[in-house]
Amino acid sequence: MTESMWIFEKEALLNGFTAVAGVDEAGRGPLAGPVVSAAVILPPDFTCPGITDSKKLSPRAREFFYQVILDGAAGAATAIATVEEIDSLNILQASLLSMKRAVETLTVQPDHLLIDGKFTIDASIPQQAVVKGDSKSISIAAASILAKVTRDRLMAGFHEHFPEYEFHRHKGYPTKAHRLAIAKWGPCPIHRQSFKGVKEFCPQRNK
Q: Phi and psi at residue 182, in whole multiples of 5°?
A: -65, -40
CB-based contact 144:53 (threshold 8 Å): yes
How crowded is residue 93: how many other Cβ atoms within 10 Å of its Cβ? Answer: 15
Tens of pLDDT, residue by residue over 170-180, are: 999 999 999 99
Length of the chain measured in residues = 207
DSSP annotation of 47: -
Confidence class for position 207, pLDDT limits 50, 70, 90: very low
Question: What pLDDT digit, counting tens, does each position of 116-175 carry?
Answer: 999 999 999 999 999 999 999 999 999 999 999 999 999 999 999 999 999 999 999 999
Helix, strand, coil percentages in the chain from 3-state DSSP, rounded to 5: 50, 15, 35
What is the Cα gyration radius of the chain? 18
List, in order of start, the domains of the chain with CATH numbers.
Answer: 3-160 (3.30.420.10)
pLDDT at 205: 61
